[in-house]
Amino acid sequence: MRVPLFIEVKDRNVLIIGGGSTGTKRARKFSLAGANVVVLSKEFTNELIQLSRDLGVVLIQVDLSVPDSLPVLETWIRWSDMVVYTIPDNMLASIVRLLCKRHRKFLNDATSAEHTEVVVPFEAKILDSVRVAVTTEGRSSTLSRILVRKIESMLSTDLELKNLANALFTMKRILKENVKDYKTRMRLYEELSNDSKFIELAVKGNIDEVTRYVMSKISKHSC
């Protein structure tokens, strides 16, 4: 059972094995997120070459099908925090999985939903500071893409949801600024989140009324 997480990869080391279309997509994604990205491959796409110029992606040309290349492969796997494998070569895939286990590195195996440890989902930003990610556990990337688009289309036009999100963000900020005790703050947060009056004010989008209501709850609790 995989645990869904959003992980900060800034300044982390990501090794990508394979310089084709999938390797290029992963290199772009992780380098834009601030990771140190190295790509091992016999050949590289034009976009990867451009990424090396624009974002500092390191390209190392090596034929990993040659046995003499294994020391190079293991050296870079040791360097990495996460390995992304993208080459349709079963023998090489088995070696990479073995080395990742030996050196306790997370593996995103883009060639095998069964063997991958890390899933890179399809994602979308719906509201300010709200992101959703979808995976079908390797069964269909097309379905994942369709589901993300449907969620994005459905929720991005929901005005009440936008109002509720703004009100909840505001409520959390007010509680942090005015209630120093963590347990008390969490108790008030839970209470307000289930308060029908707060929800009613929230979905209407009047932040001033929401602010006054939250402050009144804080005041009553302090009395």
On whether both 44 and 63 belong to a single domain, the answer is yes
Percent of the chain clearing pLDDT 70 (strictly above) = 99
Both structure tokens of 23: 């390797």
Mean of the per-residue pLDDT values of the chain = 93
| CA separation for the pair 2, 87 (Å, rounded) | 23
| pLDDT tens string 157-214 | 888 888 998 999 999 999 999 999 999 999 999 999 999 999 999 999 989 999 999 9
Average pLDDT over residues 138-148: 90
Longest distance between any two alpha carbons in the chain, whole Å:
75
Report in angstroms the alpha-carbon separations of 68 from 89, 99, 174: 17, 15, 61
Q: Which residues pair with 164 in a beta bridge?
A: none
Whole-prediction pTM value?
0.82
Domain membership of residue 186 (yes or no) is: yes
Domain end position, chosen among 134, 157, 180: 157
How far is the C-alpha of 110 from the C-alpha of 118, rounded, in Å? 9
Residue 121 identity: P
1 in a domain, yes or no?
no
Per the listing, tokens 């990993």 go with 64
- Tens digit of each residue's pLDDT (9 = 90 or more) over 27-59: 999 999 999 999 999 999 999 999 999 999 999
What domain range is 131 assigned to? 121-157
Q: With 60 as the cut, is the pLDDT of residue 223 above it?
A: no
Domain count, the chain: 3
Indicate whether 45 belongs to any domain. yes
